[in-house]
Structure 1
Amino acid sequence: MSFVLPETTLGVMAHAAGDLRVEHVALTAPTAEQAVIEIAYGGVCGSDLHYWTHGAAGESILKAPMLLGHEVVGTVVTAAADGTGPAVGTSVAIHPATPGGTAPRFPSDRPNLSPCCTYLGSAAQYPHTEGAFVKYAVLPTRMLRELPEGLDLRTASVAEPASVAWHAVSRAGDVRGKKALVVGCGPIGALVVAVLKRAGAQSITAVDMHDVPLQIASTLGADRVLKATDAEAVAASDADVVIECTGNHRGLESAIRGATRGGRVVMLGLLPSGPQPVHISLAITRELELVGSFRFNDEIDEVLLALADGSLAVDAVLTHEYPVEEALEAFAVAKDASVSGKVLLRF
């Protein structure tokens, strides 16, 4: 018996700052190039939390109620009518980006920088791009990535944030045999540690304010952990490569101070809009390379293979799981970095 798409499905909506709701949202029938995915898990991202708490994520400002969620995995229940994409019953991860636009110009091999790129659950464009924190998601087949054999849906739920981490490490260059410093060990920072470990970093120092994230980072491969309050020890890290994951000017300050002369600082954490009070003069006199890292491109394909063969170990980052009906509690736990890593919604 073929699957019949319901008219509505339960979803997680951000209506405004401080206004998060679990409610039924309308579904539209798939077009020829779209498939219907029964979502199994969705990871709560920092951007989801920002839309909930601040009504904005960086420069992306919430102007209307928006369905959240882009870290999702599930199973195809209706294949695309045009014959593209995976068959019914296939487990898939989702690549949530749709590159677009040609002006202003950007490197053709870096579509993540395209000016009109949309992302599931993002308010960067208006009308906003609806997310996929729903029981059933109607998505274009180009977003679907079939899971390699042996990779379960729960583990695959971190494919999207792990791809963000993978992209950031690639922006650092070849890290083999180098000293690395990771500032901020929330889920993304912890995954950066795991990717650095797999990539052959000689040593990895992880920095955070809280014990739980540092414990997770240690399990995922950090050789040394430091409290962010120990500014002297952080500054003495003398790291060849630093990846800043806090999205806070204090974290960026620590990253700059912790880099060796001539080192590279990858700015992965998304700082708030506006000027930031950071000692850039140190970057000049030490000839540091400051590079940005934004989302990812096709790294998700490599990530899925690494998750499947076990070379990228991520289990420790998954700390909590809630049914979608308890999304408000899940978001509250995810917001408290002192007690949680990656929090999953179960659909």
Structure 2
Amino acid sequence: MRAAVVTNAEFTVEDLPTPIPGRGQILIDVSRCGICGSDLHARTHADAVADLAAATGYDRFMRAEQSVVLGHEFSGTIVDYGPGCHQRWRTGTPVVALPIVRRDGEPHLTGLSTAAPGAYAEQVVVQESMTMPIPNGLSAEHAALTEPMAVAWHAVRKGQVGKGQTAFVIGCGPIGLAVITMLKAAGVRTVVASDFSARRRELAGVCGADIVVDPAVESPWEAAPKRGRVNGVTDILGLGFDTMEKLRAIPKLPWWYAFRLAGKLDAGPRGPVVFECVGVPGVIDQIITAAPPLTRVVVVGVCMETDRFQPAMAVNKEIELRFAFGYDPGEFRDTLHLIADGTVNPAPLITGTVGLDGIDNAFTVLGDPGGHAKILIDPASRAVTP
């Protein structure tokens, strides 16, 4: 089969042996595969990412000198089963799969490990237990976006955004656009998106952002509607005074029970939820400094450098900081069905398609934030420019 192989940051298209599915695995023909920001990092900073992965307990991430077939955002059709499979679906069935397989009992990330070649190829091996049929005649292009949209869905669920809360999305690259799409699918009424790139701001609007801001011209915090009264620490203190005066005015009321109940029901004052989708040093500190009190910050952008922020600022505002990565199989399945039933439309994210011979060009143009968002690979195509 033909596959794009990266070694020391250089791509070559090679003829490789047909993959053989192991026990409990399926061989699929690749229909489409998305180029992910993780692939961009893996190509040029493989050793740094591998060191980080090892420090967190996963020591099988690819190294720069190794030859690896990237690609973990894919859709395809079933070709053959390995031994020990339940063979749930007929050959030719369109499927997607979580990008993880087992080799000798150990997990390997598909497309990011020498033991689990990815889908920048005509065929890829997946785990039967992690495979799902594509419902409702969903196109291969849209099905391939299940994986990145699942990352966004996990982040949105991590943020626990109320429909009446304001959500801010800082950074409108592919993951930021996916977060915007998923926030609107979750029913969040006000989404404020911010990016320096005019092209990305345009796509943010198409994905459903209610307010789109150029941070070089306007602060996203000022552009957002002023809901409630918690815009500063003084507002919290004033709210405490007003609440106590009202409660103490009621004879014989054990006012402290009201506070206990509010705590249990999470009914106290709340700030907005901010999704950091940039992954550049300094952005978290900027958010903590500028955001109103009681803000929840969900960090989705992957910053590969050491960062710093002022804890005292976060403490005084009671800023809540959360980090989101990946998804679970249930979120992956739910994302697939949200796309298939039309609740989520990933089409605006897709800005180009190339064949295997065009992957190097695609990586180059993805370095320009004013150009493409998500470029798909069609192994059957001969296109070399997206």
TM-score bin, normalised by smaller chain: 0.7 to 0.9
Q: 2:19·2:124 contact (CA, 8 Å) conserved in 1?
A: no
Instruction: Specify the alignment match of 1:214 in structure 2.
Output: 201
Q: 2:161·2:167 contact (CA, 8 Å) conserved in 1?
A: no
Instruction: Specify the alignment match of 1:136 in structure 2.
Output: 123
Instruction: Specify the alignment match of 2:46 in structure 1.
Output: 55
Instruction: Specify the alignment match of 1:146 in structure 2.
Output: 133
In 2, Cα distance between the equivalents of 1:71 and 1:57? 22
Q: How does 1:238-249 map to 2 (within 5 A)?
A: 240-249=272-281
Provide, for residues 89-147 of structure 1, a one-character-per-residue CA deviation record: whole Å limited to 9, x for no partner: 111112113599xxxxxxxxxxxxxxx85321225xxx664322210112221221111
Q: Does 1:156 align with 2:143?
A: yes
In 1, Cα distance between the equivalents of 2:30 and 2:278? 29
Instruction: Specify the alignment match of 1:96 in structure 2.
Output: 99
Aligned mate of 2:180, from 193, 206, 209: 193
Aligned mate of 1:318, from 350, 358, 379: 350
In 1, Cα distance between the equivalents of 2:102 and 2:21? 21
Instruction: Specify the alignment match of 2:80 in structure 1.
Output: 78
Q: Compared with structure 1, are the counterparts of its residues 229 and 117 closer, same or farther at alpha carbon in structure 2 (3 Å cutoff)?
A: farther
Q: Compare 254-263 and 298-307 and name the one that shifted more.
A: 254-263
Q: 1:85·1:144 contact (CA, 8 Å) conserved in 2?
A: no
Q: When the two structures are aligned, how many residues end up with a matched partner?
A: 318
Query: Following TM superposition, by how much is the alpha carbon of 1:322 offset from its aligned partner in structure 2, in angstroms?
Result: 0.7
Provide, for residues 191-212 of structure 1, a one-character-per-residue CA deviation record: whole Å limited to 9, x for no partner: 1000001111121111112111
Q: Secondary structure at the match of 1:26?
A: coil
Query: Following TM superposition, by how much is the alpha carbon of 1:234 offset from its aligned partner in structure 2, in angstroms?
Result: 3.0
Instruction: Specify the alignment match of 2:261 in structure 1.
Output: none
Q: 2:34·2:71 contact (CA, 8 Å) conserved in 1?
A: yes
Q: Secondary structure at the match of 2:179?
A: helix
Aligned mate of 1:68, from 54, 67, 70: 70
Instruction: Specify the alignment match of 1:3 in structure 2.
Output: none
Q: Compared with structure 1, are the counterparts of its residues 99 and 170 closer, same or farther at alpha carbon in structure 2 (3 Å cutoff)?
A: farther
In 2, Cα distance between the equivalents of 1:226 and 1:253? 19
Q: Aligned letter for 2:35?
A: V
Q: 2:161·2:273 contact (CA, 8 Å) conserved in 1?
A: no
Q: Does 1:30 align with 2:21?
A: yes
Q: Aligned letter for 1:280?
A: P
Aligned mate of 2:310, from 279, 296, 306: 279
Q: 1:44·1:334 contact (CA, 8 Å) conserved in 2?
A: no
Q: Secondary structure at the match of 1:77?
A: strand
Q: Aligned letter for 1:13?
A: V
Which one has a larger percent helix, Structure 1 or Structure 2?
2
Q: 1:22·1:327 contact (CA, 8 Å) conserved in 2?
A: no
In 1, Cα distance between the equivalents of 2:28 and 2:102? 21
In 1, Cα distance between the equivalents of 2:282 and 2:32? 33
In 2, Cα distance between the equivalents of 1:343 and 1:73? 14
Rg bigger for which structure? 2
Q: 1:93·1:144 contact (CA, 8 Å) conserved in 2?
A: yes
Aligned mate of 1:205, from 183, 188, 192: 192
The 4+ residue runs of structure 1 with deviation greater than 4 A are none
Q: Aligned letter for 1:14?
A: V
In 2, Cα distance between the equivalents of 1:166 and 1:257? 27
Q: 1:175·1:199 contact (CA, 8 Å) conserved in 2?
A: no
Structure 2, gaps ≥5 residues long: 54-61, 225-230, 232-270, 380-386
Q: Does 1:233 align with 2:225?
A: no
Q: Secondary structure at the match of 1:162?
A: helix
Query: Following TM superposition, by how much is the alpha carbon of 1:154 offset from its aligned partner in structure 2, in angstroms?
Result: 0.9
In 1, Cα distance between the equivalents of 2:48 and 2:287? 22
Instruction: Specify the alignment match of 1:113 in structure 2.
Output: none
Instruction: Specify the alignment match of 2:11 in structure 1.
Output: 20
Q: Secondary structure at the match of 1:326?
A: helix
Query: Following TM superposition, by how much is the alpha carbon of 1:242 offset from its aligned partner in structure 2, in angstroms?
Result: 0.5
Query: Following TM superposition, by how much is the alpha carbon of 1:14 offset from its aligned partner in structure 2, in angstroms?
Result: 2.1
Q: Compared with structure 1, are the counterparts of its residues 85 and 213 closer, same or farther at alpha carbon in structure 2 (3 Å cutoff)?
A: farther
Q: Secondary structure at the match of 2:147?
A: helix
TM-score normalised to structure 2 length:
0.77
Q: Does 1:263 align with 2:255?
A: no
Q: Compared with structure 1, are the counterparts of its residues 128 and 34 closer, same or farther at alpha carbon in structure 2 (3 Å cutoff)?
A: closer
Structure 1, gaps ≥5 residues long: 1-8, 101-115
Q: 1:235·1:259 contact (CA, 8 Å) conserved in 2?
A: yes
Aligned mate of 1:331, from 359, 363, 376: 363
Q: Aligned letter for 1:12?
A: A
Q: CA RMSD in A?
A: 2.2
